């Protein structure tokens, strides 16, 4: 490989203010990179897969609109979860040919501090799975279902938004522990996929079964031991009415209620009394607070994947030019599983 | 002591249907008892103190109005938590002179199955304390504060209804663990007592400080680690806005919302998002589900009392004839600490 390579990177050229993401916001910029130009401690990585997550659009907003994250800078490459292959190394822990993952610039090649990368074990899983079931989303699902939910064989588990990248894994983790698992999703197609491809015991479409209390009575006639909540509001209230003794509720997300300035306009949950009468626990969590569980989680989930107990689905688009399209698709809600961009055509 | 004694017992003669409890509902019936008439396994007990708890009035209602408990029968003695002294025994584990506690008939003397009684260690505490801080209310406070709240030195603890029998103990348990503790109560007198007699760091009157969010900002400028909730509704919502990272909420009671048929009319809590953002836990519990912690709790609380770390206050009325008056006082909310009836004038 020549030392000087042509490099393409995805650059933010104007802040996002609503509507679809277009070339007006993200453009491709061509540069050159000397892959042998690593300084002490750095490695050069040829990037292979990029994660396309909803939070990317938040980081594209003007900094004065954001609360929780450090936004992208204008005229700089954006960052995301990336999986790539080391092509040059001035870092002791990594060699040429190693597969690595980290959060860094979205481009074809990057020069990165070696200490910020994680070397991947790709014997049993696709490298891109380190952006999904073995990445941040996977850790999120594991924390909520395994660490907080603590599922036991025979228990009854409900997962909302069960066809999403996190829900899909949370549901299968509960299946791996011997639970009966039912998910709620937004289309009949997703119901079918969860039942037939991912082995859930059942699933229902919350858009057609609009009386959620009645739906949960039907799908959980014996009640719910664990509710993995991605949605909050009315679905959480309905689930509270079906708790069994010593039930657990993992609060993973309530995205519609993120703006704390307006909390008084949020949905009021009226039946918290159920927590008391059922000696039940409701626990929130943020993946950023639990990085120390990363190795434990990765070993367990990789084991399940090796045994075929956990399947996964990726929605892969080809080439950096498809980044905008992939990001918009995440927000249209049509896809199942993890959205990623493969940097090079195979 | 003669074998045949005159006995007086408190009998339910008509169901309670609202208003104050009177002699129309509870009357004293005089009988005779042969205290040497114990059958195999029974003991005769001279009763000394009777607990006067709110639930007693629920059990006095007609059975068709009750949901959770087995109601009292008409023309039979009512039951309660009792502490007494064994005066005759046909049970291997108890001797004459032993102090015992159990749930049985409210009377001057009772014949009880020995196996249903607990022998008391009265070296360091008043026997009547086994109806309060070392009884069911004490276990309730311990479960919510110690087992579920898990207080650590320096943490910030909020207790609502902090002058009640349970809240008073929960607050002092947190103090014993080295926490800063603030309580909410319903009168200025109670504020004063909590600060001066029970050593709370502060207390406020929720009837005069009606903006509870503002009150909690004032009393907890650094936020709350543990909220021991006896009230639910708007106070719970206010507390949720002040949670620190990894906070815990113990749901001990929400009595105003007991009627589950009407849950849709209950207060809607809008800011559960705080649980997620603060990785916080909210846990309900019922003392009846945790009897197995009784010995552990009793040993710990008795130790604190011996060391003087936990104080208690009883509101004592004299003689079985005062039972109605004591029960009505519990509902008027004026007393501080545990309401009990001393069966004999000292």
pLDDT digits (tens, 9 = 90+) for A264-298: 888 999 999 999 989 999 999 998 899 899 999 99
Contacts with B277 (C-beta within 8 Å, 6 or more apart), sequence order: A260, A284, A286
Nearest chain B CA: its distance from A281 CA (Å): 4
Which of A 69-88 lie inside 8 A of B, CB atoms?
Answer: none
Evaluate if residue A18 carries a pLDDT over 90. no
**Chain A hits for B283, Cβ within 8 Å:** 275, 279-282
Q: What is the pLDDT of residues B134-169, one digit of tens each?
A: 998 999 999 999 999 999 999 999 999 999 889 999
Q: What is the pLDDT of residues A149-184, one digit of tens each?
A: 999 999 999 999 999 889 999 999 999 999 999 999
Which of B 196-215 lie inside 8 A of A, CB atoms?
Answer: none
Chain B CB within 8 Å of residue A147 CB: no
Pick A336 or A183 by higher pLDDT: A183
Evaluate if residue B307 carries a pLDDT over 80. yes
Which of A251, A274, A278 shows the shortest C-beta gap to B276?
A251
Domain ranges of chain A: 4-132+313-342, 136-289
Evaluate if residue A1 carries a pLDDT over 60. no
Chain B CB within 8 Å of residue A67 CB: no
Chain B CB within 8 Å of residue A270 CB: yes
Residue A254 is predicted with a pLDDT of 72
Which of B251, B252, B266 shows the shortest C-beta gap to A270?
B266
Chain B CB within 8 Å of residue A273 CB: yes
The confidence band for A260, taking pLDDT boundaries of 50, 70 and 90, is: very low
Rounded to whole angstroms, the Cα distance separating B281 from B150 reads: 12
**Chain A hits for B265, Cβ within 8 Å:** 270
Nearest chain A CA: its distance from B78 CA (Å): 25
- Tokens 């009988």: give the residue: B31
Rounded to whole angstroms, the Cα distance separating A256 from B270 reads: 12
What number of C-beta contacts closer than 8 Å exist between A and B? 112
Q: Do A281 and B279 touch (CB under 8 A)?
A: no
Percentages helix, strand, coil for chain A, rounded to the nearest 5?
A: 30, 30, 40
CB A70, CB A64: distance < 8 Å: no
Evaluate if residue A259 carries a pLDDT over 50. no
Q: Do B275 and A284 touch (CB under 8 A)?
A: yes
Give me the DSSP letters along A119-166. Answer: E---SSS-GGGGGTTTSHHHHHHHIIIIIIT---TT-EEEEESTTSHH
Nearest chain B CA: its distance from A317 CA (Å): 32
Residue B257 is predicted with a pLDDT of 54
Mean pLDDT for A73-81 is 95
For chain A, the average pLDDT equals: 92
Residue B54 is predicted with a pLDDT of 80
Q: Do B272 and A245 touch (CB under 8 A)?
A: no
Percentages helix, strand, coil for chain B, rounded to the nearest 5?
A: 30, 30, 40
Pick the closest to residue A324 from A21, A82, A76, A9 (CA basis).
A21
Q: Do B263 and A279 touch (CB under 8 A)?
A: no
Burial grade of B232 (CB within 10 A; 0-12, 13-18, 19 or more): buried
Evaluate if residue A68 carries a pLDDT over 90. no
Helices A233-240, A212-219: axis angle to 10 degrees equals: 50
Question: Which of B262, B273, B277, B278 to mutate against chain A (most A CBs within 10 Å)?
Answer: B273
Pick A264 or B83 by higher pLDDT: B83
| Architecture category of domain B136-289 in CATH | 3-Layer(aba) Sandwich (3.40)
Q: What is the pLDDT of residues B242-265, one digit of tens each?
A: 999 999 999 997 755 544 456 788
Q: Do B269 and A267 touch (CB under 8 A)?
A: no
Pick the closest to residue B108 from B275, B336, B342 (CA basis).
B342
Q: Which CATH number fits domain B4-132+313-342: 1.10.150.120, 3.20.20.140, 3.90.180.10, 3.30.70.1350?
A: 3.90.180.10
Question: Which of A160, A279, A290, A291 to mutate against chain B (most B CBs within 10 Å)?
Answer: A279
Helices B294-306, B165-176: axis angle to 10 degrees equals: 70
Mean pLDDT for A118-147 is 92
For chain B, the average pLDDT equals: 92
Q: What is the pLDDT of residues B277-306, one digit of tens each?
A: 899 999 999 988 998 999 999 999 999 998
Residue B66 is predicted with a pLDDT of 56
Q: Phi/psi of residue A65, each to 5°?
A: -100, -5
Q: Is B155 helix (H, G, I), strand (E, B) or coil?
A: coil
Q: Where are the alpha helices (DSSP H) in chain B?
A: 55-59, 136-142, 165-176, 188-196, 212-219, 233-240, 273-277, 294-306, 323-332
Mean pLDDT for A305-320 is 92
Chain A CB within 8 Å of residue B58 CB: no
Q: Do B269 and A268 touch (CB under 8 A)?
A: yes
Residue B55 is predicted with a pLDDT of 80
Evaluate if residue A261 carries a pLDDT over 60. no
Element (DSSP H or E) covering residue B44: strand B42-51
Q: What is the pLDDT of residues A98-120, one digit of tens each?
A: 999 999 999 999 999 999 999 99
The confidence band for A255, taking pLDDT boundaries of 50, 70 and 90, is: low
Q: Is B293 helix (H, G, I), strand (E, B) or coil?
A: helix
The percentage of residues in chain A with a pLDDT greater than 90, rounded to a whole number, is 77
**Chain A hits for B260, Cβ within 8 Å:** 273, 277
Tally of CB atoms within 10 A around A300: 17
């Amino acid at each position: 490989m020549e030392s000087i390579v042509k490099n393409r990177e995805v650059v933010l050229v104007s802040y996002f203010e609503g509507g679809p993401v277009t070339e007006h916001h993200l453009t491709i910029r061509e540069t050159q990179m000397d892959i042998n130009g690593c300084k002490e401690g750095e490695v050069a990585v040829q990037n292979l897969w990029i994660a396309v997550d909803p939070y990317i659009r938040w980081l594209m907003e003007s900094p004065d609109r954001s609360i929780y994250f450090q936004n992208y800078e204008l005229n700089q490459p954006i960052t995301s979860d990336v999986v790539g292959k080391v092509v040059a190394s001035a870092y002791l822990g990594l060699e040429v040919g190693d597969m690595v993952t980290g959060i860094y610039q979205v481009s074809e090649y990057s020069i990165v501090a070696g200490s910020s990368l994680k070397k991947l074990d790709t014997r049993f899983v696709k490298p891109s799975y380190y952006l999904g079931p073995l990445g941040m989303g996977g850790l999120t699902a594991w924390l909520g279902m395994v660490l907080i939910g603590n599922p036991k064989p025979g228990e009854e588990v409900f997962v909302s938004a069960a066809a999403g990248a996190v829900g899909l894994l949370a549901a299968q983790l509960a299946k791996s522990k011997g639970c009966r698992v039912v998910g709620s999703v937004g289309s009949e197609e997703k119901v079918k996929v969860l039942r037939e491809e991912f082995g859930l015991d059942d699933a229902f479409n919350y858009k057609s079964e609009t009386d959620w209390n009645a739906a949960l009575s039907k799908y959980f006639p014996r009640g719910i031991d664990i509710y993995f909540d991605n949605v909050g509001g009315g679905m959480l209230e309905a689930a509270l009415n079906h708790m069994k003794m010593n039930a657990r509720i993992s609060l993973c997300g309530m995205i519609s209620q993120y703006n704390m300035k307006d909390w008084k306009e949020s949905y009021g949950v009226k039946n918290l009394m159920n927590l008391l009468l059922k000696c039940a626990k409701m626990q929130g969590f943020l993946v950023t607070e639990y990085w120390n569980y990363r190795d434990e989680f990765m070993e367990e989930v990789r084991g399940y994947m090796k045994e075929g107990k956990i399947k996964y689905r990726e929605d892969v688009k080809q080439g950096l030019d498809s980044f905008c399209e992939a990001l918009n698709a995440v927000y249209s809600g049509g896809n199942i599983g993890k959205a990623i961009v493969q940097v090079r055509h195979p």
